[in-house]
Structure 1
Amino acid sequence: MPPSRARDTTEGTGRAGTLRRLGQWCARHFVVVIVAWLVALVALQVLDRSAGGTYSDNFSLSDTQSQQGLDVLKRHDPQAGGYSSQIVLRDEHRPLASLSSQMSTTVGDLQKLPHVLSVQNPLSGSSQGQSKQNVGPLSDDGRTAYITVRFDVQPSTLGDAYLDGVDDAVQPLRRAGAQVEYGGPLGELARPAPDDRISELIGFAVAVLVLLAGFGSVLAAALPLLTALVGVVTGLAVLGLLAAAFTFATVSPTLATMIGLGVGIDYALFLITRHRQRLMDGADPVRAAGDATATSGRAVLVSGCTVIVALAGLFASGVGFIGKLGLAAAVTVVSAVAGALTLVPALLGLLGRRIDRYRVRRPVAEAGTVAGAVPQGTWHRYALRVERRPWRYLGAGVAAVAVLAIPVFSLQLGHIGDGADPASFTDRRAYDLMTDAFGPGSNGPLTVVIDQSSVPQPQRSALASQAQKTLDAVDGASTVTPLTPTEDGDVLVGTVYSRESPQSATTTDLVNRLVDRTLPDAVRGTDARGYVTGTTAAQVDFRDIVASRLPLIIGVVVGLAFLIILAVFRGLLVAVKAAVLNVLSITASYGVVVAVFQWGWGGPALGVNGEVPIESYVPMMMFAIIFGLSMDYEIFLLSRVHEAWLRTGDAKASVAHALEITARVITCAALIMVSVFAAFIVSDNVVVKMLGLGLAVSVLIDATVVRLLMVPAVMTLLGRHAWWTPRWLDRALPHIDAEGEGEAPAPKAPSRVMAERATASHAQQQHDRDGTDRHHDGP
């Protein structure tokens, strides 16, 4: 009996049997499963609203020099060492000096607010509080100024209600006709709450059209959307509960929604496609749901684990902020897998054979899967063309990826400042006012801290003079304020302003120059130590850490995914091919993101003001997410190639067969994923725009250039060698089944398999052509 026949008649054990029984039980007891999901959904929502946490970008890197400098400043002058934010004032009609009484009232009221350490009056040059380090600036024309408020906590974590007190405090100035805008953390607090509903609606609308075109059935198109939505809402509620115990970034729920919708729709799509094919083959709905769960459901399980492993690899960065972003996305991936394995079979059981009752066209079986059919579809003919000229198609794919990847060589990591936000945001208006009145560097002052507590008193005067002279000569600075001692005299504090905006490469270079050369020269010959602190300096430190650890993340994620592919398909070169091609497609997507945002090729059309650097953690996040998602399609395609290879022993024909039976469903899945990700480009958050575009482009490249050109060409060139694995490695690897191979007899040794293929290949192919093997499933 041929291997494929054995798989057809064997009920299977282990995970295959467990998944089949799970799918059949859910389909048979659909009322219980659906009610259980609804109860869990409502309960989690109630718990999230009553006990869920909030999202905040409040995190610190304790080992960085900027944090060490802030700690020194806090110890010697707590009022100067807090978290600062600016309230920017502008009066077009008269000098602000005419509003002296209103200014004093506002400063006094701000000082009374909770968590405020000190408030500077820009008109008097003094602070209400204990710190007297800085002089509040007033523009040359006297019409623009800013109040610096220092807090003992990060202002962006104080919540919307806190902003009401700030609004009340600045009312005297607003009533007098002055324009009042909030910059820095207060501006972030004043931003409108992120609303992803428009993005979700756009993604859903496109998904509906794609699913209707692919399935032809209204109910079959609605099921993936419904289950994905339930999975995302459930996952977000769980994430909210986790946020009560851990600090997650404000972008976390958006990222989780983006990933959860994409994989949730895809996973349901693969199961429903297999289920409908089994119905067309004559199986009853319960058995069809069990078969789909045992085969495609297992591929979903393996794929979901691959995505989660890739996201977990972000913890290798050693930065909790980044690792928790991966955790946030993994939560909705878990809920998507759970929904695909339980809720989808239950809904299929509920619909039974009525799944195709409402349709826009006649449902069709998957190409090449109808019993006795000879594959002659478009994708099969295309695969045969690739088989004839593999080098031409591989060269075209490599050339396309190489062209798209060219901008990567000018990649500039950094932080996206307030200047890139929409003009409707108060922090953007504050940024523009500061830039016009005081220069772009005023939006990111660099605080220089020199700890001279170990320097004898007689030597401190000479140290201050030497340090000031060295700082005044630093390249890239527009202004350097005089160094002034704290009240205890142990610390010197000054401010350096860059010639360019905080997000520019010039400012990044200035920070690194101050830390690496200028300050060491300034304190040379003494026991003093210098630091550069403040928000901009902390962002540069964060960027440097992320840049240094990006290769580690890439190595960890690629290595883990390589091992999974190797364990699933037992082919060393297949695993190498999967890793290399996915890295190439991700590099191409990086190039597109750099061209659009950093080079400005389309940034304004997306609502981004000017050219901006690539947010430092975006490449790391993109790599983990894209690599995991790319492995989804890799597993679904290779599982079919591998199945055909085991059955026929014909490596080249197996590629054509796999393309023929998976092309339509993988194309639909990719189009849906692209639409879901691209829909988030309309977000007001520039980082979300960047991630949305990068993920959409990467999936598009993966589904076209990689999947249509490079994969079939490479698999054709490798031939039977693609599935070779050293015997010792085959024995050492765990056996992970995908797409139902676990229902086959126990795997034979590689040498025996190769010998049997050599003798049985011709007979098996003739057997398939005669149509005697009636077991053909859709993807």
Structure 2
Amino acid sequence: MALWLYRLGRFSAHRAWLVIVAWALITALVGGAAALFMGTMSNNFQIPGTETQQMADKLKADLPDASGGSGTVVFTSTDGRTFTPAQEKAISTTLATALSVPTVKGVIDPFQTMAALKDSQAKLAEGAKALGAGEAQLADAKKTLDASAAQLAAGRARLSAGQAQLDAQQAQAAALPAGSPQAAAASAQIAAAQAQLDANKAQLTAGQEQLSAGQAKYGASAKELAAKKTELDTGRRSAEAASGLKFVSDNGKAAIGQVQFSESMNAVTPANRQLLQEKLNTLKSSGVTVDYSKDITEDVSALFGTAEVVGIAVAAAVLVIMLGTLVAAGLPLVMALVGVGIGVGGTMALTGVIEMSSISPMLALMLGLAVGIDYSLFIVNRHRQQLLAGMEMRESIAKATGTSGNAVLFAGLTVVIALAALSVSGLPFLTVLGLAAAATVAVAVLIALSLTPAILSLMGRRVISRRTWAKHAAAEKLRAADGLSATDAAARDDAVDVSRSGRGWGGLVTRHPVISLVTAVLALAVVAIPAAGLRLALPDGGSEPVDSSAYKAYTITGANFGEGMNGPIIVVGSLPAGLDQQSATALNLDVADQLRKVPNVQAAIPVAVSKNLRTAVYQVIPAEGPASASTVQVVHDLRSEGAAIKAASHVSIGLTGQTGANVDVSAKLGAALPPYLAIVVGLSLILLILVFRSILVPVLATAGFLLSLVAAFGGVVAVYQWGWLGSIFDVANPSAVLSFLPIILIGVLFGLAMDYQVFIASGMREAFVHGQSAKQAVRTGFRHAAPVVTAAAIIMTSVFSGFIFSHLTMVRPLGFALAFGVLVDAFVVRMTIIPAAMHLLGKSAWWIPKWLDRILPDVDVEGAKLVSLAETGGAGARVSETEPAAAR
């Protein structure tokens, strides 16, 4: 590998313009592709197959009107008083203008909504009053009907008695002699009585008909009254359910409007978001302050902010101090920017065909800048050393590429593998994120190995400052004046090198290895203590900067309406078949009643039902914010309540919405963390055994990585979850840690830790292989590697630190974790624990079983087997195969 890289470096140095033009062409093509095919990024962290995604798909199919995104607009009076009628009218009028914004399909006016609720309550009161009067009238009618029925019954009884009496009289009259005056008188009397009875019977029949009509009318009135009572009860239950959802605060000083979109929030373009804000911001002239939820203000289209530029500026300052010349310092920066341009540009070009979270190009940007600077720096630093040692320029470039470039290739490979391994998590957005960052790091490696040698060839001697050349020339004169042979001079230089290796930090650590080791480990253990309380969640408006509109909207909403209004939970119900509108409404209210019984649920409201009455949507308002532990428990409790709801009402429920999705994503990521960590640790051991041909060095390096990892977790929890030093890091509302931060931190920090391990331990191994004692080799290797590793760590920390104050708040804790992790790993683990432990281990640090040594391929990361080569046609200096890499 070293020989192949040597030839690549030599080719790049001899064909500098060809290499430069090739990379320029690649950059132009990638830039053009990004400009033509770039799509809209999102922060959609849904996971296919989860309940939240299944319910979202169900809503999109059954209730498309409810599947679009929505954002919240918070209104307050500028003077802090209650809204005036004029301000209320202005808010309603201005909200209506939002309908002209593309993709906005509706708005919820807080004042009109509350007025409608009050009107509904008034109508319910009137209805209840009318129902009471109707029931009273119905009761009076019932009494009248009962009295009439009683009178009719008495009349029928009298009629029956009269008929019986008349029948008896007829029997008596029949016994009288026919034609007698008595018989005639009796017949006349009976006929008159019969006529009277018939008249009474007709009157009774008419009364019965009137009673039947009255009873029919009563029955109809009773049925109508029962229907009105059912309707009133339904209205009362609906009003009670909606009472927990307010759009105007009780004190009248804040109001919440909602903007509904025809597409998901991830698809709403930055231009439409901005247009919506411009229309609503006109309310400022009416004395109304307008703030927007994170859904509306979030703009993931920009990558660079002021903080990121400051981080790069600090890295540039470190380069200038280390290399002593602006020309040399600018080279690693330019190489990093080219690599980032290609890597991130390619990533952006794919956003048109791949759904990509905003953090994907941001992570690629962070890593591309950091490793791009470091990898070029390693090659430039080796080239400078060789030039000062008298090596011919192009030969030096080739040798630097074959030696330091070899370590760069391996170090970059570890980062690429660690990032690409994120795909094993089974999370699509994390897979895209890892592959995007891995591709950018791979580009940074290729640029360091090809474009850097080409630019170095054009720079010539200017890569070293005039002052450094002058000092070197003066030192050469003094050495020549001593009259020593080359061999004696080299021996003296080696003795001086050994003497100097006992000074400084490396000497201090190796003189007191036990104290250094124990102190460093205990310090990291203490820093890692907060990691035991790690909670994972996705960010909400409370994690935004305190001066941002999203944070103000979040806090105003929480203070006036309850924290839960910032993170409603969407419940989707599958209703049984055969329902009518009335029974479906009653059933939905029954389900809402059961949902409200879940602890820490403030309100549960049925909000929509499909046309076929088979799918219903309920909005559940938790007591606390979306990232709180109690809300996470509410999500779990709602799902547990599903079985009881199914048994009681035959309605199956499922959860969706951002709050439920956040819980699912965090749970999925938490479950993926242990296997991913096992993969990374296993990979670490295998790769390091391959590189250093040792058992204990890889174990030590991996243990050090785990120490720096838990320390980084501890720092993140202390700052972003507990709020320590929150004023410094702009953490106004401490909450759970970004859910995918741990798995990303594992992958990235592993790769970077292995970078430093290679550059620190390879020098120690080479010194040991070339004759120094194991303990002295630790000091010698440390002395040669420490300056460049220190500079590289400071540069990388500076770049990552720039993202701590990024305009994308989601990136901030990740920037802190990477900066703190690199700082700890480089200075505490690699430059304290590793040299102290290896000094204690001595020769046993390099032990490896003979059978394993035989079967392992020799990757020659240090380039120790690079034979002496001369540039074709030149008189380049020759470097012995046995010369230590530190001297080259």
TM-score normalised according to structure 1 size? 0.86
Distance in 1 (alpha carbons) for counterparts of 2:63 and 2:454: 63
- Residues 1:264 and 1:155: Cα distance change in structure 2 (over 3 Å): same
Deviations 1:179-225 (A, max 9, x none): 33322422224x8x646353344233323332333333443333222
Among 104, 115, 123, which residue is 2:103 paired with? 115
Distance in 2 (alpha carbons) for counterparts of 1:369 and 1:187: 67
Distance in 2 (alpha carbons) for counterparts of 1:456 and 1:708: 73
1:555 matched to 2:678: yes
Deviations 1:580-608 (A, max 9, x none): 11111111011111111111111222222
Among 61, 69, 87, which residue is 1:83 paired with? 69
Distance apart, 1:372 and its partner CA: 4.1
SS of alignment partner, residue 259 of structure 2: strand
Give the alignment of 1:757-776 within 5 angstroms. Answer: none
- Residues 1:267 and 1:719: Cα distance change in structure 2 (over 3 Å): same
SS of alignment partner, residue 450 of structure 1: strand
The aligned length equals 732
Determine if contact 1:449/1:530 at 8 Å carries over to the other structure: yes
- Residues 1:281 and 1:94: Cα distance change in structure 2 (over 3 Å): closer
Give the alignment of 1:241-252 within 5 angstroms. Answer: 241-252=349-360
1:504 matched to 2:633: no
Partner in structure 1 of residue 291 of structure 2: 181
Partner in structure 1 of residue 605 of structure 2: 481
- One-letter code of the match for 2:497? P
- One-letter code of the match for 2:108? Q
Partner in structure 1 of residue 160 of structure 2: none
Among 644, 652, 663, which residue is 1:521 paired with? 644
Distance in 2 (alpha carbons) for counterparts of 1:275 and 1:546: 44
Determine if contact 1:218/1:356 at 8 Å carries over to the other structure: no
SS of alignment partner, residue 86 of structure 1: strand
SS of alignment partner, residue 648 of structure 1: coil
Give the alignment of 1:303-702 within 5 angstroms. Answer: 303-359=411-467, 372-376=494-498, 378-381=500-503, 383=506, 386-387=509-510, 389-453=512-576, 467-481=591-605, 485-515=609-639, 517-524=640-647, 527-648=650-771, 650-702=773-825
Unpaired runs of 5+ residues, structure 2, are 117-237, 476-489, 869-879
Distance in 1 (alpha carbons) for counterparts of 2:492 and 2:663: 59
Deviations 1:588-645 (A, max 9, x none): 0111111111111112222221212211111111111111111101111222222223
Deviations 1:542-584 (A, max 9, x none): 1111111111221122222322212222222222221111111
1:47 matched to 2:157: no
SS of alignment partner, residue 481 of structure 1: strand
Partner in structure 2 of residue 257 of structure 1: 365
Distance in 2 (alpha carbons) for counterparts of 1:344 and 1:673: 19
Among 39, 52, 58, which residue is 1:72 paired with? 58
- Residues 1:536 and 1:371: Cα distance change in structure 2 (over 3 Å): same
Decide which moves more: 555-564 or 208-217.
208-217
Unpaired runs of 5+ residues, structure 1, are 1-14, 746-770
TM-score normalised according to structure 2 size? 0.76
Cα RMSD, aligned residues only: 3.3
Partner in structure 2 of residue 755 of structure 1: none
User: Percent of pairs identical after alignment?
Assistant: 36
Partner in structure 1 of residue 131 of structure 2: none
Distance apart, 1:117 and its partner CA: 4.7
Determine if contact 1:356/1:363 at 8 Å carries over to the other structure: no
Partner in structure 2 of residue 751 of structure 1: none
Determine if contact 1:44/1:238 at 8 Å carries over to the other structure: yes
Deviations 1:122-168 (A, max 9, x none): 3343999xxx9987723224443323233342224322221355246
Decide which moves more: 523-532 or 562-571.
523-532
- One-letter code of the match for 1:30? A
1:703 matched to 2:826: yes
Decide which moves more: 101-110 or 456-465.
456-465
- One-letter code of the match for 2:43? D
Determine if contact 1:568/1:737 at 8 Å carries over to the other structure: yes
- One-letter code of the match for 1:44? V
- Residues 1:76 and 1:220: Cα distance change in structure 2 (over 3 Å): closer
Among 17, 23, 29, which residue is 2:15 paired with? 29
Partner in structure 2 of residue 61 of structure 1: 47
Distance in 2 (alpha carbons) for counterparts of 1:406 and 1:695: 18
Higher share of residues assigned helix = 2
- One-letter code of the match for 2:389? D
Distance in 1 (alpha carbons) for counterparts of 2:601 and 2:441: 47
- Residues 1:505 and 1:588: Cα distance change in structure 2 (over 3 Å): same
Distance in 2 (alpha carbons) for counterparts of 1:47 and 1:427: 33
Among 142, 151, 161, which residue is 2:271 paired with? 161
Distance in 1 (alpha carbons) for counterparts of 2:785 and 2:882: 20
Determine if contact 2:53/2:656 at 8 Å carries over to the other structure: yes
Distance apart, 1:78 and its partner CA: 2.2
Determine if contact 1:218/1:360 at 8 Å carries over to the other structure: no
Distance in 1 (alpha carbons) for counterparts of 2:501 and 2:430: 41
1:239 matched to 2:347: yes
Determine if contact 2:603/2:622 at 8 Å carries over to the other structure: yes
Decide which moves more: 692-701 or 350-359.
350-359
Distance in 2 (alpha carbons) for counterparts of 1:262 and 1:187: 29
Distance in 1 (alpha carbons) for counterparts of 2:627 and 2:827: 35
SS of alignment partner, residue 345 of structure 1: helix
Determine if contact 1:251/1:688 at 8 Å carries over to the other structure: yes
Distance apart, 1:418 and its partner CA: 0.8
Decide which moves more: 242-251 or 85-94.
85-94
Distance apart, 1:456 and its partner CA: 8.1
Determine if contact 1:598/1:611 at 8 Å carries over to the other structure: yes
Distance in 1 (alpha carbons) for counterparts of 2:305 and 2:470: 33
Determine if contact 1:394/1:710 at 8 Å carries over to the other structure: yes
Determine if contact 2:801/2:819 at 8 Å carries over to the other structure: yes
Partner in structure 1 of residue 5 of structure 2: 19
